[in-house]
């Protein structure tokens, strides 16, 4: 087993990435104007991320067949991203 440890010496996140999940935990792509090509929201603070998602209730899930289906968002996962590109421990929020 390999364990990676990162020591943070006062380094604060540069921005936060958010992605959404359905009730089964499958990742949903957001198809709103503020989302990137992967369907994630990227903002400077956690509050800005949640503000961008205000009123958004559905995301798109790609099925194994290649089809896409709109599903209700059940969970929001917000990752801090640091200056060196390290993605930190996510924070989950139930919507």
Percent of the chain with pLDDT over 70: 84
61 in a structural domain: yes
pTM attached to this predicted model: 0.71
Indicate whether 8 belongs to any domain.
Answer: no
The total of structural domains in the chain comes to 1
Q: Is residue 35 part of a domain?
A: yes
Tokens of residue 84, six digits: 């060196």
Mean pLDDT confidence for 63-80: 90
Look up the domain containing 90 and give its range. 15-94
Digit-coded pLDDT (tens) for 31-40: 888 888 888 8
The two tokens of residue 5 are 């440890």
Whether residue 5 is contained in a domain is answered as: no
Give the integer Cα–Cα distance in Å for 40 and 78: 10
Has residue 7 been placed in a domain? no
- Structural domain includes residue 21: yes
Establish if 27 belongs to a structural domain: yes
pLDDT at 7: 56
**4: in domain:** no
Nearest to 38 by CA among 22, 62, 55, 56: 62
pLDDT at 10 over 80: no
């Amino acid at each position: 087993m390999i364990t990676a440890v990162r020591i943070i010496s006062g380094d604060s996140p540069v921005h936060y990435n958010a992605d959404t999940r359905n009730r089964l935990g499958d990742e949903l792509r957001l198809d709103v104007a503020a989302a990137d090509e992967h369907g994630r929201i990227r903002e400077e603070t956690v509050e800005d991320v949640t503000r961008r998602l205000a009123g958004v209730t559905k995301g798109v899930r790609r099925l194994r067949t290649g089809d896409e289906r709109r599903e209700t968002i059940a969970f929001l996962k917000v990752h801090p991203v640091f200056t060196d590109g390290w993605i930190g421990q996510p924070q989950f929020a139930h919507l």
